[in-house]
Chains A and B, each alone.
Chain A
């Protein structure tokens, strides 16, 4: 449990720092990445030509190969798990008169999970909330998104410390596990509730009237253009292969 929490905290932190380091003028906008990912997943999902999905898979693998080893792991791990799960769950269908489902669903699952993992690796949670802002979602939604990430970080640290404390005290008592879970979650919740209340007061002290905006502006750059060009190629390729298959 706490190792999972620590990983979560570490991810939120690295996302934050890497956003700082990377020059935003050279990176694609979060909204462009997100919409392109969406487009790609839809096309793959609709496609009836296995060539299309194979080519996308190849392109994704190629882009993964340009990443750092650490990033590769965080992309491939969820992908492999999803693929294994998809293969396992669709395998019986092969004996039920739907044999191709196994390969199509498994391949498409590999494609979509890898794609989202790559986008997540490139974008991080900051890109995500910024994408939400540039897609004009309501302030309330964006604020909730930011607050959630912040509390994941704060409460994650808190819960990890508490779990550690509980496990240090845990000598031979049998029912600690259940009691510990309820207590840790309950205490974490109470802490978060107090924090949220003080947050609200701090906001009121700064004249909060529901406005929640960011000064961050993304400047249209070459990477955005390249991603959009790739989207166009993708659509043309899709149409061509779809006609060829028909």
Chain B
């Protein structure tokens, strides 16, 4: 069913090391991600998953090699341009592993509305969309609560709602199940399963084999800063 021949995201020979560190966090990474598919990035701690995500989100930039997003190279110089950066981030969303750092407003409702305000939608539409996502993530009863006083599972749901409400084409999710209880894990797994076959390009890092098996179209295995295998790619 792979009708998309053009990859949305293309990494060629990407190498990266953090400032002050000699060791390379990413070595010669080549990858192509197609729209409408779900990729899970698997590998041990320190294999370069988080670094890869920072590159994909335009928070860090390759030392060598190239990152092309929908035909546009993403470079430090281009991201300095605020309009370009905003346009880019409109299309790619990121759910952090630590939900605490991702949530900054004083109520769950405002958290979801935050991104919509940045898109300069009319207020009626923002209100409508916010209500829709409060319902979708079962957050209605918590709508006026401050995100930072919620439990880990509730925070994760808020983070998901806030990112998905902006309707990005690509969603990058770092360890969606870490620190959640069974109920929370089931909720998120169910939600991610529901996205399968949709228009989104989903990239998820996880240690949880069961989750990966449930949701992945392609399993990407990483080790020591390299991608070692694309399992399920046709």
B29 at the interface (CB under 8 A from A): no
The chain A residue with its CB closest to the CB of B143 is A20
Whether a CB of chain B sits under 8 angstroms from the CB of A175 is: no
A205 and B109 in contact, given A16-B149, A147-B104 (Cβ under 8 angstroms): no
Contact (A213, B89) CB under 8 Å given A146-B105, A207-B118: no
**Which one of B93, B101, B123 has the highest number of Cβ atoms from chain A below 10 Å of its Cβ?**
B101
Cβ-defined contact, A154 with B146, below 8 A = no
A-side contacts of B120, CB under 8 Å:
211
**B105 near A17: Cβ-Cβ < 8 Å:** no
In the complex, the number of residue pairs spanning A and B with C-beta atoms less than 8 Å apart equals 99
Point out the residue from A20, A147, A207, A216 that lies within 8 Å of B115, measured CB to CB: A207
CB distance from A127 to the nearest CB of B (A): 11
Whether B148 contacts A154 by the Cβ 8 Å rule is yes
> Which of B59, B102, B104, B127 has the most chain A CB within a 10 Å cutoff?
B104
A199: B residues at CB distance < 8 A = 101-102, 104
Bound CA–CA A204/B93 (angstroms)? 10
Interface residues of B in 143-179 (CB under 8 A from A): 144-146, 148-149, 162-163, 166
Interface class of chain B by DSSP = helix
- Supposing A149-B106, A153-B149, A199-B104 touch, asked if A215 and B127 sit within 8 A by C-beta, the answer is yes
Interface assignment of B16: CB less than 8 Å from any CB of chain A: no
* A19: min CB distance to chain B, Å: 6
Q: Are A150 and B146 in contact (CB under 8 A)?
A: yes
A226 at interface, CB cutoff 8 A:
no
| Residue A122 lies at the interface, judged by CB distance under 8 Å to chain B | no
Check if B40 is an interface residue, CB within 8 A of chain A: no
Asked whether, in the complex, the Cβ of B149 is within 8 Å of the Cβ of A213, the reply is: no
Bound complex: CA of A211 vs CA of B115, how far in Å? 10
The answer to the question of A195 belonging to the interface, with a C-beta cut-off of 8 Å to chain B, is yes
User: Closest CB-CB distance, A131 to chain B, in whole Å?
Assistant: 12
A164 within 8 A of B: no
Query: In the complex, what distance in Å separates the CA atom of A227 from the CA atom of B85?
Result: 48
A146 to chain B, nearest CB (A): 5
Tell me whether B126 is interfacial, beta carbon within 8 Å.
Answer: yes
A24 to B144, CA, bound (A): 10
A150 to B57, CA, bound (A): 26
For B98, the chain A residues whose CB sits under 8 A away are 198
Q: Is the CB of B118 within 8 A of A211?
A: yes
Residue of A nearest to B141 (CB): A20
Are A202 and B148 in touch, CB under 8 angstroms?
no
> For A209, what are the chain B residues with a Cβ–Cβ distance below 8 Å?
82, 86, 118
Proximity string of chain B (13-36) to chain A, C-beta cutoff 8 Å, 1 when within and 0 when not = 000000000000000000000000
B42 in the interface, Cβ–Cβ < 8 Å? no
Q: Which of A180-220 contact B (CB under 8 A)?
A: 195, 198-199, 201-209, 211-216
Residue count of chain A within 8 Å CB distance of chain B: 33
Tell yes or no: A126 within 8 A of B by CB: yes
B214 to A: closest C-beta gap in Å: 26
Q: Which residues of B contact A208 (CB under 8 A)?
A: 118
Q: How far is the CA of A204 from the CA of B80 in the complex (A)?
A: 12
A149 to B130 CA separation, bound complex (whole angstroms): 24
**Once the chains bind, are A198 and B101 in contact (CB under 8 Å)?**
yes
Complex Cα gap A145–B73 (Å)? 38
Mark each residue of chain B from 81 to 103: 1 if its CB lies under 8 Å from any CB of chain A, else 0.
01001100110111010101110
Q: Which residues of A contact B94 (CB under 8 A)?
A: 202, 205
**For the complex, what is the distance from the CA of A19 to the CA of B149, rounded to whole Å?**
13
Most chain B beta-carbon contacts within 10 A, residue among A19, A126, A209? A209
- The interface centre, meaning the residue of A195, A202, A204, A211 with most chain B CB atoms within 10 A of its CB, is A202
Among B82, B142, B149, B162, point to the contact of A206 (Cβ < 8 A).
B162
The yes or no answer to A13 lying at the interface (CB within 8 A) is yes
From A20, A201, A216, contact of B59 by CB (8 A): A201
* A72 at interface, CB cutoff 8 A: no
- Of all chain A residues, which has the CB nearest B106? A146
Give complex CA distance A150, B118 in Å. Answer: 21
* 1/0 contact string of A112-130 vs chain B (CB within 8 Å): 0000000000000010010
Other than the given A206-B93, A206-B114, 5 more pairs (CB < 8 A) read: A205-B89, A205-B94, A206-B118, A214-B110, A215-B130
The interface of chain A, by Cβ under 8 A from chain B, is 12-13, 16-17, 19-20, 24, 126, 129, 146-147, 149-150, 153-154, 195, 198-199, 201-209, 211-216
7 intermolecular pairs with C-beta atoms under 8 Å apart: A20-B142, A154-B148, A206-B93, A206-B163, A207-B119, A212-B114, A215-B109
